[in-house]
Amino acid sequence: MVNVKINGIAVSVPEGSTILEAAKLANVRIPTLCYLKDVQCVGSCRMCLVEATGARGLVAACVYPVSEGMEVRTNTPRVRKSRKTTIELILSTHKKKCLSCVRSMNCELQKLALEYNAEEDRFGTDHDLKPVDDLSPSVVRDNSKCVMCTRCVAACSLQTIGVIGPKHRGYAKEIGSPYDVSLAHTPCVNCGQCVVACPVGALYEKSSVADVWGAIVNPEKHVVFFTAPSIKATLGEAFGMPVGTNVEGKMAAAIKQLGDVKCFNMDITADLTIMEEANELLERLMKGGVTPMFTSCCPGWVKFAEHYYPELLPNLSTCKSPQEMFSAVLKTYYCQKNGIKPEDLYVVSVIPCTAKKFEITRPELGHYTDAAITTRELAKMIKEAGIDFANIAESEFDTPFGEASGAGAIFGATGGVMEAALRTAAFVLGGDGSPIEFREVRGTQGVKEAEYTVGGSTVKVAVANGLGNARKVIEQIKSGEKDYQFVEIMACPGGCINGGGQPYVHDEVRNSIDLKAVRAQALYDCDKENRLRCSHETPAVETLYKEFFGKPLSHKAHELLHTTYEKREKY
């Protein structure tokens, strides 16, 4: 342990700790811009400069190590002047359309500029408006707002995708894709981790809000929303609620106040996915099919496999994602039951994921989903409608797609798909149907593995979250080092609860708490409190099989609930 003082506050920290880490223990805030916990620590933005004994000049707190007896001052006149000048220099090359920016009132640069009384035009406005790259169906890049923190580059590198990076040198340096091609023409998987890493409005999702409002006011359209499992655990953050607050009732009420719309629960088709996927796994195991079987509900992971590991496409489950299953059910079964023409039903998916925006464009999925909006976009619509979200009376999802199992709820957390599938597989193989918790596959570790005896059969499983971890697991399987029968992969670290479409969280919060763990716990609490714990217990799923699909893996189920994949170029 090393003894230091931060603004006169004595703290002991492990040897090798940075000044920033020591300041956190002393409850002293040091501003950052390029630093992001678990993503990047390079000290390039110079916002965290401090004075420290033994150092020559100001040092970057995020990378400078403490030493025994060091005394640090974080708010001297020299430090404050340096930070203010840094902000003003950044503002001199920044497109300052703050009033209409997607990050207005939730922007790290805007926040710092206000705190340090920065003059936005002290060094003039010396920038050329750069073209906006909006060809991707998921992510938009506006380099005129880029502050060169390179957090997006670090996030993309952690995902082992690397389709964006610094180009040119010196003052001409900018972030983009090789050869100046659009992001749409790269092997980007649309995961959106670059978006949630960006501290300003240089990256954001391609919005469908205007289209959805248009459908709501169109008297010829029947509009239905359905919300993904993780949305209830994150939407509240957009309205100032604590991380991990379950707002399911408020969310359903707010959506139904947007207009003449219905609001359904996507947890139901998470359950439907499990029914198909668990039975597909058992069929492969019993009939000698291709193993290990990989989950297929994450479109970012699916596109990753198509680009980088096309030889593994036969290993992917053929199940569509819960989003695409729900849309297919609505445009067929639901329309038939309610006498609605499919073309008159406008289906809106509320998702935590920018990759879902790409997914709805895939022709092999049937184009059943009309719009996929992120958690952030839903929050924007609620605010536009003038709804007092914090104080709105709670409501329930509309019938017949309201009640789902706890297994469907945990879909949004890494390991949740695996656990839900194992619960139902155990039942199909002769279990008594009692709730089973597979805790070994829970948690936010990058890779988890376990071995279970299910219905007398031994199943080796692995769970990976984040594509860097997925790549490690795949390479171990290919080399023969590991042997699994079932593998769950989610593109985003922590799973959907940390998806690219989730609410922006200020750096101070993100750097101080484990967002992934707190959000995931909200979903596990939903599961624990639910009277239904397994997907096969969900009433709507039982009805769908009884009235429409017949049984899992039936011909009609394959027609509407399953899909195919295609090899894509790697470069």
Which residues are known to be catalytic?
277, 280, 297, 317, 356, 359, 364, 496
Confidence at 172, pLDDT banded by 50, 70, 90: confident
* CA separation, residue 246 to residues 194, 323, 411, 492, 525 (Å): 26, 21, 15, 21, 9
**CATH number of the domain that residue 21 is part of:** 3.10.20.740
239 and 171 in one domain?
A: no
- Higher-confidence residue of 454 and 459: namely 459
Say if 39 falls within a structural domain. yes
In this predicted structure, the answer to whether residue 349 has a pLDDT above a threshold of 70 is yes
Domains held by the chain: number: 3
Closest alpha carbon to 269 in 333, 325, 346, 228: 325
Rounded to an integer, the average pLDDT of 37-64 is 95
Examine the domain organization and report whether 479 and 372 are in the same domain: yes
Domain contains 352 = yes
CATH number of 429's domain? 3.40.50.1780
Rounded Cα distance between 380 and 385, Å, is 9
Angle at 204 between CA 202 and CA 206, to 5 degrees: 135
Strands 49-52 and 59-60: what pairing?
A: antiparallel
Residues 26 and 50 in one domain: yes
pLDDT for res 571: 75
Give the pLDDT confidence score for residue 436 in this predicted structure. 82
Domain boundary among the residues 25, 44, 75 is at: 75
* 490 plus 523 within the same structural domain: yes
Instruction: Give per-residue pLDDT as tens, 523-558.
Output: 999 999 999 999 999 999 999 999 999 999 999 999
- Give the residue from 49, 75, 101 where a domain finishes: 75
Same domain, 328 and 193: no
Q: Which residue has the tokens 């380099």?
A: 143
Residue 489 lies in a domain: yes
- Is 80 a member of any domain? no
257-301 pLDDT, tens digit each = 999 999 999 999 999 999 999 999 999 998 989 999 999 999 999
Counting DSSP H helices and E strands in the chain, the numbers are: 20, 17
Domain containing 101: what range?
A: 88-205
What is the average pLDDT value for the chain, to the nearest integer?
A: 95
Sorting pLDDT into bands at 50, 70 and 90, what band is 430? confident
Residue type, 102: V
430 Cβ contact partners less than 8 Å away, ≥ 6 residues apart = 455, 456
Residues 372 and 392 in one domain: yes
pLDDT band for position 127 (50/70/90)? Answer: low
Residue 35: inside a domain: yes
Q: Are residues 176 and 194 in the same domain?
A: yes
pLDDT digits (tens, 9 = 90+) for 65-94: 999 999 999 999 999 999 999 999 999 999
Take residue 157 and report the two structure tokens written for it: 């590198």
Q: With helix as H, strand as E and coil as C, how does 392-426 read?
A: CCCCCCCCCCCCCCHHHHHHHCCCHHHHHHHHHHH
Peptide bond preceding 299 in cis form (omega within 30 of 0) = no
**Whether 483 and 555 share a structural domain:** yes
**Do residue 134 and residue 282 come from a single domain?**
no
pLDDT at residue number 429 = 79
Query: Which pLDDT tens digit goes with each residue over 105-126?
Result: 999 999 999 999 999 889 887 6
- What pLDDT, in 10s, does the model give residues 240-251? 999 999 999 999
The answer on 156 and 127 residing in a single domain is yes
User: Residue 540 and residue 546: Cα distance in Å, rounded?
Assistant: 10
The closest of 533, 316, 324 to 420, measured between CA atoms, is 533
Residue at which a domain ends, from 205, 232, 249: 205
Q: Is residue 568 part of a domain?
A: no
Residue 566 in domain: no
Residue 435, pLDDT above cutoff 90: no
Q: Is residue 567 part of a domain?
A: no
User: Is there a single domain that holds both residue 299 and residue 327?
Assistant: yes
State residue 290's pLDDT score: 95
Q: Where residue 153 sits, what CATH number does that domain have?
A: 3.30.70.20
Whether residue 278 is found in the same domain as residue 391: yes
